[in-house]
Chain A
Amino acid sequence: MTSSETIVIGGGHNGLVAAAALAKAGRKVLVLEAGSEVGGAARTEEFAPGFRVSSVAHLLNRLHPDVVKALDLDKHGLQFARADFMPSVALSKDGPLVLHGAYGEVLTGTNSSEQSAWKELRAQLLRYAGILKPFLSRRPPDLAGMSLRETASLGQTALALKKLGKEDMRDFLRVLLMNVADLLDEQLADIRLKGLLAFDATLGSNLGPRSPTSLLGLYYRLAGETGGAAGAQIFPQGGMGAVAAAIRAAAEKAGVTIRTSTPVAKIIVEKGRAVGVALHTGEVLRARTIVSAINPATTFLDLVGPREIDTGFVRKVKNIRMKGDAAKLNLALDRPPQFTGVDAAGHKGRLVIAPSPDHVERAFNPSKYGEFSPEPVMEITLPSLADPSLAPSGACVLSAVVQYAPYALKEGWDAGKPKFLKAIMAQLEAYAPGIGKSVVHAELLTPADIETRYRMPGGHWHHGELQADQMLISRPVSGWSGYDTPLEGLFLASAGSHPGGGVSGAPGLNAARRIIAMKG
């Protein structure tokens, strides 16, 4: 039995961020990672001989600036230049439409009236997302007992709202819980642009563009920033694993010890206090503070166990909705594909097949009934074009996030997976003729696969559906949204906590700040 001051369970990016931040505050920190390497779903892995790809998350668009700053990530190899900002290409039979720069600072491929409508809408979206942005980097307000500081920062939000002006403030409140399709119909005409935005708003959630509150997903995306530009997205050189590696380097420099291939079997609780962990080997590690940077449901139902927590809390944890609805496709291609009408710069961008909001909605419909989309929507990247080291010379890697792929597929994923892959390939073939013949190896990760491989229950990359009822003070469960838990000495730090998923590091950093503030 050994004793460490702080144990972080899970070496995903949030776990590493929390560990690094705690170590920088002078704590002795030990990270326990179940997998053979750290990074969680933000890794770069070989999926076919010579072909490497970002495991689940494949684009960086919300790594929080506070995380970059607190961990000096720029000194650990993470630097973002404006030139790296990837365009978003809305693929369509009518020719592509391209959002350049940071989420469409320039729009090409459509007429001038649409361009000016977009300019206005983009500014509005960023303004409104900006109101919500400060929430990302702090604890959700604690309704039971707000500190002066919390009250003050909430007051600042109210002030920011007021600063919008009367009309804008009313409009912000009007549209906040709207569905994205209706908002887009108010302001835009081009269905390609609307399709892209509808896709982005619903990416990673169990919502269609016409589902109430779907606009929040777009705000969540636009509250993120890269290199100081809201909505900007980049492809990190070396894949997402490079981001995890930079955070790991920062953590280790701060003195964090990392043990991989060390799954935790149990969080040991004595008299209402988490006092250590037991490993699968039977080894017991004791610590003053335990930070669980893995799924909240796994933390409480499996590691702590329902016996050590109250029934009402168990109910809440069990009710966290986290059935993933997105699949990840990795293709090893013997040559780069050619998407019709897309130029070379576009191929290095994010290619989105979501030709209209109707198309996205139709793709969503079957998922409600446990069926995958016959004509799925997807975002595609060709990372080896930007980083040739990811594929053998002349060959190409295609990485795509594909919707909708319900976790609980009625026919079961064993039977459904080959059919779904066929449907995806048919879609790809329509936009990049000949791509099918260039496939050397195809790997499709359904939510069921993501669940097993990355220990994400439900295969949900947010560790809990990111919708209004599971955000802010309700994330992961109401009453316990502030990273502390009913067990003394146990804290949460995964994407399952506020603000949510994506490679942001925000939950990890917020958790570390909370622990330091509580002297926990």
Chain B
Amino acid sequence: MAQAIRKKPLSKTVNAAVSARIVAQDHFRTLRLGTPFQPRIDALAKTQDWYNWAGYRAPNSLWNEELEYFAIRSQAAVFDISPMTKYRIEGPDAEAFLDRVTLRDVAKLRPGRVHYTAWCDDEGFVLDDGTLFRLSPTRFRLCSQERHLPWLLDSAIGFDVSVAEETEAVAGLALQGPTSFAVLRDAGFAGVEKLKIFDLADLPHDGGTVGISRTGFTGDLGYELFVPADRALSLWDRLMTAGQLRGIRAIGYTALNRARLEAGLIVANADFTTAEHAIRADRLRLPDEIGLGFMIDLQKGHFNGRRAILEARAKRKLRHVLVGLEIDGNIPAEHAIVYHKKSQEVGLVSAAMWSPMAKRNIAIASLARPYGDTMVEDLWVEIYAMRELQHQKLMKRAKVVARPFIKLDRRTANPPADF
């Protein structure tokens, strides 16, 4: 049959076109993308423990997740944040545009500063949270967990602003831990000592610049560095060389996740479900329901979700609350159900650990109001402790406590301490 159909051999030009197309479609052979730092990370990946971060091959751990965590708290840890979604937002209306899209007042964000913010859909449900970098009066970088280009572009209608995704073009590194400042200084980044918490600056690197901000996801002294993808490896090498005697270590997500939990920070689609991912109607969350109510600025102009958020507040339609818990004992209560009076289900733990820094058994949980809000007594979590192939059911008392669970003075100390 095949011969009957293909009477003439395909011409050479057709063959060339077909093979060009096959080459162009070769992407499927790469199961997960590598970041610009991948050659260095691969070389360090002793555990070969990978996960999928927004389509990238990212390490859960590289050599030892316990020691990686302690690298954050006692040394300097390098974590590749290149897969984080990054948008470049630029134009005369960039500030007004971001004011309309995000919850916080962007006019209050000075050039050279960073703030943590979130954005909502029309119904006031959180689409994502992220960090907004004001690079100049008219230029911003918005970093987030999920992708939002269509939403941002549609939000740009009527604004003199351009929005472009730069996730691939810009590599990112988090350098976190007590010696992180010293590493940067020793690497020759003059001026980095002037950065206060949430400050950012462009410093020379490899014939170009690297954007360094005193930010992070660990609650520790730390910095985040953004560099064009083609200068990523030289940045990595520069830090590693400078940090050799300061205990610099590359780490994976498991360690970072512990540090962020101690810092009381939440992760989209781990501690709450983002509006565009939620399938079930009761999984959507208003900012007030996940502890982001502080961002809402009713004094500024209109922003997405304002009407719905105001209505929910006025009509007392806030149904959930996100809280920090301190739990008796030392068994992490990961994904444990939270009970009132040991019997009534009132919520779920989304992240939990024994905190070596706080020396407490801590957790983040979402509870159905009024529990966790006005009713905070008599709360319990049910922990299934696996002990030699047998689940032991533990009912442990949980106490609602303030986040962050740890507060490190070195995070905000000025000038940054030299360890």
Contacts and interface: CB of A to CB of B under 8 A. Distances in A.
* B is bound to A: yes
Interface of A: 269, 271-272, 301, 305-315, 318, 486
B347 to A, nearest CB: 27
B122 A307 contact: no
B302 A309 contact: yes
B304 A311 contact: yes
B100 A307 contact: yes
A294 to B, nearest CB: 18
B96 A307 contact: yes
Nearest to B158: A306
A269 B302 contact: yes
Contacts of A318: 154, 157
A318 B158 CA distance: 12
A311 B151 contact: yes
Interface string B103-118: 0000000000000000
Given A301-B157, A318-B154, A486-B307, 19 more contacts: A272-B302, A272-B306, A301-B158, A306-B157, A307-B100, A307-B159, A307-B301, A309-B302, A310-B305, A310-B307, A311-B121, A311-B122, A311-B151, A311-B154, A312-B121, A312-B122, A313-B122, A314-B157, A486-B122
B154 A314 contact: yes
B157 to A, nearest CB: 5
B62 interface: no
Interface residues of B, number: 19
Given A272-B302, A272-B307, A272-B310, A310 B122 contact: yes
Contact of B101 (A272, A308, A311): A311
B155 interface: yes
A314 B121 CA distance: 12
A311 B155 contact: yes
Nearest to A311: B155
A56 to B, nearest CB: 29
Interface centre among B96, B151, B158 (most CB of A within 10 A): B158
Contacts of B302: 269, 272, 307-309
A94 to B, nearest CB: 51
Nearest to B127: A311
Contacts of B121: 310-312
Interface string B83-114: 00000000000001000110000000000000
B331 to A, nearest CB: 43
B129 to A, nearest CB: 17
Contacts of A486: 122, 307
A305 B158 contact: yes
Contacts of A301: 157-158
Interface of B: 96, 100-101, 121-122, 151, 154-155, 157-159, 298, 301-302, 304-307, 310
Contacts of A312: 121-122, 304
Contacts of B307: 272, 310, 486
A305 B310 CA distance: 21
B122 to A, nearest CB: 4
Contacts of A311: 100-101, 121-122, 151, 154-155, 304
Nearest to B101: A311
A93 B151 CA distance: 56
Contacts of A307: 96, 100, 158-159, 301-302
B274 to A, nearest CB: 15
A314 B122 CA distance: 10
A306 B306 CA distance: 14
A318 B156 CA distance: 13
A511 B71 CA distance: 65
A419 B284 CA distance: 56
A269 B158 CA distance: 16
Contacts of B305: 310
A12 B101 CA distance: 35
Contacts of B306: 272, 310
Contacts of A306: 157-159
Contacts of B157: 301, 306, 314, 318
A310 B298 CA distance: 15
B100 A315 contact: no
Nearest to B123: A312
B119 to A, nearest CB: 9
A271 B154 CA distance: 22
Given A307-B301, A310-B122, A315 B158 contact: no
A29 B159 CA distance: 34
A299 to B, nearest CB: 14
14 contacts: A272-B307, A306-B157, A306-B159, A307-B96, A308-B302, A309-B302, A310-B306, A311-B100, A311-B151, A311-B154, A311-B155, A312-B122, A318-B154, A486-B307
Contacts of B154: 311, 314-315, 318
Contacts of A314: 154-155, 157-158
Nearest to A313: B122
B276 to A, nearest CB: 11
B127 to A, nearest CB: 10
A114 B142 CA distance: 69
A314 B155 CA distance: 8
A306 B154 CA distance: 10
B128 to A, nearest CB: 13
Contacts of B301: 307-308
Contacts of A313: 122
Nearest to A306: B158
A310 B154 CA distance: 10
A307 to B, nearest CB: 6
B304 A310 contact: yes
Nearest to B119: A311
B198 to A, nearest CB: 27
Contacts of A305: 158
A315 B122 CA distance: 11
A307 B159 CA distance: 8
A318 B155 CA distance: 12
A374 to B, nearest CB: 38
A305 B302 CA distance: 11
Contacts of B151: 311
Nearest to B96: A307
Contacts of A269: 302
